[in-house]
Structure 1
Amino acid sequence: MASCPEAYSPHATSKALNRYIEDYREFCAERGENPEKPYSGKFLIRIGPELHKNLAIQARKNSTSLNAWVTEALSKAVKDSPLH
């Protein structure tokens, strides 16, 4: 924390972080941009019951959870896409 001497206690750290966040928001506003927001890592999708069933079967066949199986499938799709 040598570069941020005011952040030696949790309260001071929080105060400094809030100041930096506000500076970032002002910077974005000056540029006419929206601040980048972190993603939570969760999203809800709606699929048909048959696809849901088939995904669950595939996950079970691979001895993994549905979440892990879908995460792997999506990761592969992104990796293989021309945008990556």
Structure 2
Amino acid sequence: MKHYPLEIFWSDEDQGFVAEAPDLPGCSACAPTEVEAAHAAQQAIQAWIEAAQAAGRAVPVPREVLPLRRYSGKFLVRVPRSLHARLARQAAAQGVSLNQYVAGVLARG
């Protein structure tokens, strides 16, 4: 079986971890732990592929996922001046750098 990357996140609605295979539309699984969700997703991937093949549909090739060491941790984002000012004020109010504040906001999603 091909290896499809998973995105795993907590779902308040499902009260569990959801593991999605973004390369396979609609393919996901839910379980109480991240590990269980990943295992359940493997079964869902196999079922998705079998159903697609039975229906004569093409099965997408898994996308390449680069290892973490290939990412520098830096990227440039252009934002409107008003947003830059608002973020800077919020960072100052919390006593952290703009960089730390934005990284925290991004981490919380």
TM-score under structure 2 normalisation?
0.38
Name which one, 1 or 2, has greater alpha-carbon Rg.
1
Bigger fraction of residues in strand: 2
Bigger fraction of residues in helix: 1
TM-score under structure 1 normalisation?
0.49
Q: Select the structure with the greater relative contact order (CA < 8 A; seq sep ≥ 6).
A: 2
